[in-house]
A and B are shown apart, each in its own frame.
Chain A
Amino acid sequence: MPGADFTIEETPEGPSLRFSGALTLAEISVLHARLSTLSDPPARIDLSGIERIDTVGAWVIHRLARDHDATISGASKDAERLIEQVCAADQPFKIRPDRTNPFLRVLGEMGQATVHAGATLVGLLGFFGATLVAAWNLIRNPKRFRINAVIRQFEVVGVTALAIIGLMSFLIGIVIGQQGAVQLRQFGAEVFTINLIGRVTARELGVLMTAIMVAGRSGSAFAAQIGSMKLAEEVDAMRIIGVSPMEALVLPRVIAAVVMMPLLGFYATMVAMVGGGIYCWLALDIPPVTFVQRIREVVPMTDLWVGLVKAPVFGLIIAIAGCFQGMQVEGSAEEVGLRTTASVVQAIFLVIVLDAAFAVFFTQIGWI
């Protein structure tokens, strides 16, 4: 098919553009560039030589005629109709959002982010309160307690997490042992590797790593499940039927997380110590019996309490953050993804903030 082309003929009324070829989308780019460099405004546009035209061609002709006040002649019936169509569609139209000053925009975004963070914090607190109220109602009407849902969540949050948390903790025990041994060897104090493994896993890492894993595994699942139920209007349907979503969806998950976190944290601590013990046995020639004996001597009971007191609090935070974000989902499926990410980020952030607070607190009360 021949490309689009035009020739300029001088007539008494002014220059006349005579188009030929196919005025279609595939050919328009070159034509458009040539037309924009036109020196004399055309007075007439002759379309009698064109072979084909589509709406883009019609648009370019229409715009040329409009800008230069030219008359169009020689158009076939189809071409005329197309030009009429695009003429009708030629309205002032916004394509891009209005531009704002970048400095103001950054300031505005910072302000919005701050307000949003504050609102989220208030929302989380409110949701925590609502959970407490729901729990109180449940205590007053124990018949409404959904034992099946709770057991189901125990399984999802706790039992199915055993393998991955075990593997993770085992490796962490080995890493602490290995890194500690390398450093302590410089002082000839390799034997203190046992102290390091025992105290670090019991006080901090056992529970903290478990919390991070549970936030990634279960907190995100809570947000995604509740979020998609919210999207499908299941949550609204529950409310209408008279089932409280707080009781049916949120409380079982919160209870499961609060109960399972100390158990998982304890399990993780033990497995990490086993990992560290095996490392000490194989790499440092410390027999398991000696390892266990030393652990009993150097790790005070309070270290275990430090870990286990924190665990249910972390569980509560993870479950509340997950369920809260899930309940905030509105509109599109895209939101479920965003809220799920937000729930994990918030849960891990709050867990670490609280962990710091706990560390100061326990040191102050003398559990060192």
Chain B
Amino acid sequence: MTDGGDPDILIRVRGLSNGFGDQIVHENLDLDVRRGEILGVVGGSGTGKSVLMRAIIGLQTPQAGEIEVFGKSMAGRDDEEAQSIRKRWGVLFQGGALFSMLTVAENIQVPLREFYPELDQQLLDEIAAYKVAMTGLAPDAGPKYPSELSGGMRKRAGLARALALDPELLFLDEPTAGLDPIGAANFDTLLKELKDALGLTVFLITHDLDTLYAICDRVAVLADHQVIAIGTIPELLALDHPWIREYFKGPRGRFAADANERNKANADMNRTETGA
């Protein structure tokens, strides 16, 4: 299946360069995403987090560099190959990017119909129903149009569509931005559960420190046109980079870390109580 390389590395980016006109976004950027991990991607505004995602999923042609997804090079592949790769990933765009002319249920069925036209309508409806229920939408959301949903519900519906094909790899662009803290925490829990149940690999762009602490296995830091560091949060903190230190040790970062500690302690306590 793979043409060389480590089968446990789902996304492999080497020497990627991107830019718009004179403006350089990425220069000689390297990144590996391992199978089964949630990789958080952080960076200041304008460091090209979304551009990186768009380059990996093939919406943006890079100026230079090599991108491999599932061990296959993204450059120079034919349509059939591209389709077979698209079957294996799901993407949640920032605003949900639901098709406004279709209901939530129809939105979820779009990828299913596109790739598996032989599925009958009853099964399609059932699939849409359990996907929507899995992402925690209200039971009456199925026949609603995206314009009738709140931002948080739109994100959940977008996630349900991204999960429609049971992908191995999930791209999420700021899934918790614009959600209230309760909604964001629920989203984190949901993502963690889905990852454990479905064995997903997740490429997660976020600004949300709580999300980083709560669910990310590793964090990649984008700055100076490159991935300057990648690793678990303690590993990143051990590095002496001013931006990383400010990011995680600033007032918000410290608060998120404390909250995470408290949550962990509570969870441990509950576990011992129920165990006893």
A29 adjacent to B128 (CB under 8 Å):
no
A299 to chain B, nearest CB (A): 52
Q: Indicate if the CB atoms of A95 and B130 lie closer than 8 Å.
A: no
B120 x A29 contact (CB < 8 A): yes
Determine the chain B residues whose CB is within 8 A of the CB of A186 once the complex forms.
none
With A29-B119, A95-B129 already in contact, the answer to whether A89 and B134 are too (CB < 8 A) is yes
Chain A residues, CB < 8 A from B127: 56, 59
Decide if B166 is an interface residue (CB 8 Å cutoff): yes
The size bracket of the interface on B is 20 to 34
Question: Does B7 sit at the interface, judged by CB under 8 A?
Answer: no
For the complex, what is the distance from the CA of A66 to the CA of B189, rounded to whole Å?
A: 28
Docked Cα-Cα span, A94 to B104, in Å, equals 11
Q: Is the CB of B118 within 8 A of A29?
A: yes
Asked if B199 CB lies within 8 Å of chain A CBs, one says yes
- Answer whether residue A86 sits at the interface, using C-beta atoms and an 8 A cutoff: yes
Q: A29–B116 Cα gap in the complex (Å)?
A: 8
Segment at the interface with B among A20-28, A194-202, A239-247: A20-28
Cβ of B140: which chain A residues have Cβ within 8 Å of it? 94
In the assembled complex, which residues on chain A have CB atoms less than 8 Å from the CB atom of B130? 55, 59, 86, 89-90, 93
| A53–chain B nearest beta-carbon distance, Å | 10
- With a cutoff of 8 Å between Cβ atoms, the chain A residues found around residue B199 in the complex are 78
Please tell me which one of the listed residues B125, B128, B139, B166 contacts residue A25 in the complex, with CB atoms under 8 A apart: B166
Docked CA distance A60–B197 (Å): 17
| B147 touches which of A28, A29, A81, A332 (Cβ 8 Å) | A332
For the complex with contacts A91-B139, A96-B125, 11 further pairs of A-B residues with Cβ separation under 8 Å are A25-B166, A29-B120, A32-B123, A59-B130, A81-B197, A88-B133, A89-B131, A94-B142, A95-B125, A96-B103, A334-B147
Binding site for A on B (CB under 8 A): 100, 103, 105, 112, 116, 118-120, 123, 125-134, 139-140, 142-143, 147, 165-166, 193, 196-199
- Contacts A/B (CB < 8 Å), 25 sampled: A25-B116, A25-B166, A26-B116, A28-B123, A29-B120, A32-B119, A32-B120, A55-B198, A56-B127, A78-B199, A81-B197, A82-B197, A85-B193, A86-B130, A89-B134, A91-B139, A93-B130, A94-B143, A95-B105, A95-B125, A95-B128, A97-B103, A332-B147, A334-B100, A334-B147
